[in-house]
Amino acid sequence: MFSKAVFDQYLEKFPARLMGRGELSNLYMWDAQQHFAQIWDIERLDFDIMYAESLHSDISNRLWTGVDYHPKESMNTFLKYEKEFIRSMFRDLFNEGKDLQMRISRFIFHCDELRKQIKKKEPKLLHHYHDEKMVVNYLMLNDPQRYTYLELVSFRKAMAAMQARNIPEYITIESYTKLMRIIQNFIKADTSMANGYKSLFPDQKLHVAGSMLMALDFIQNVD
């Protein structure tokens, strides 16, 4: 656990640092969360089309595409052949009654197996690109109040700056998520902070109430 006294010092500086930037650096993530919430429906018969429509942002698609990084495209290929199985994969991933790390590992394992099978039909499918970060992206989009973007470099720096003890060499997703929720709750406890945060949005519709992207912004502003 980090020092609450040191955390409070950084929290006091946080609004000024945010306002000083003039814009939210992670605005595209808020946009993606808002869009996902409007479209995602795991029961839709055309699950493949629904998936493709859900992963969209008018600002940036960096969460699921990049240079030699194409998880959305790969999942679209999987869906051509195994739509119902993939529906069950997402059901399992989003099941909060099961262990978090097991859900993530199982999702990645199934992607590994699907790639082996489907590569026979799709020779150009060299990689599925679904690592832990991408799978956590799905969790973040589906439940913004419980999960946020996996940013371990900023997290480690923030924990050191806030005098956390015994920071492990390997930070588990479980511990990352737990501590980010604690940070989020501390931020939300400051009502002026939580309410003032909305003023940073160029479009108020992009603000997702309670999104843990506030905690992400915070650790990225601790140095």
Query: Which pair of tokens denotes residue 83?
Result: 């739509």
**Do residues 138 and 161 share a domain?**
no
- Is residue 174 scored above 70 in pLDDT? yes
- Is 31 a domain residue? no
Torsion of CA 129, 104, 85, 78, to 10 degrees: 0
- Is residue 133 scored above 90 in pLDDT? yes
- Looking at residue 180, its pLDDT comes to 95
**Do residues 64 and 128 share a domain?**
yes
**Do residues 56 and 42 share a domain?**
yes
The Cα–Cα gap between 176 and 203 comes to 30
What are the residues whose beta carbons fall under 8 Å from the beta carbon of 6, sequence distance 6 or more? 161, 162, 163
**Do residues 65 and 94 share a domain?**
yes
- Is 32 a domain residue? no
pLDDT (tens digit, 9 = 90+) per residue, 105-116? 999 999 999 999
- Is 168 a domain residue? yes
DSSP SS3 for 66: strand
Between 204 and 72, the more confident residue is 72
The string of DSSP letters for 160-175 reads HHTT-SS--SS--HHH
**Do residues 109 and 136 share a domain?**
yes
Between 201 and 97, the more confident residue is 97
Domain boundary at 143, 171, 201, which? 143
- Looking at residue 19, its pLDDT comes to 73
- Is 157 a domain residue? yes
The residue range of the domain holding 22 is: 1-26+149-223
- Looking at residue 194, its pLDDT comes to 67
Q: CB-based burial of residue 180 (10 Å sphere; 0-12 exposed, 13-18 middle, 19+ buried)?
A: buried
pLDDT (tens digit, 9 = 90+) per residue, 16-63? 777 776 678 899 999 999 999 999 999 999 999 999 999 999 899 999
What is the number of structural domains in the chain?
A: 2
- Is residue 145 scored above 70 in pLDDT? yes
Which of 19-23, 24-28, 96-100, 154-158 has the weakest average pLDDT? 19-23
DSSP H or E segment with residue 109: helix 100-118
Sign of CA dihedral 157, 154, 67, 143: positive
**Do residues 6 and 46 share a domain?**
no
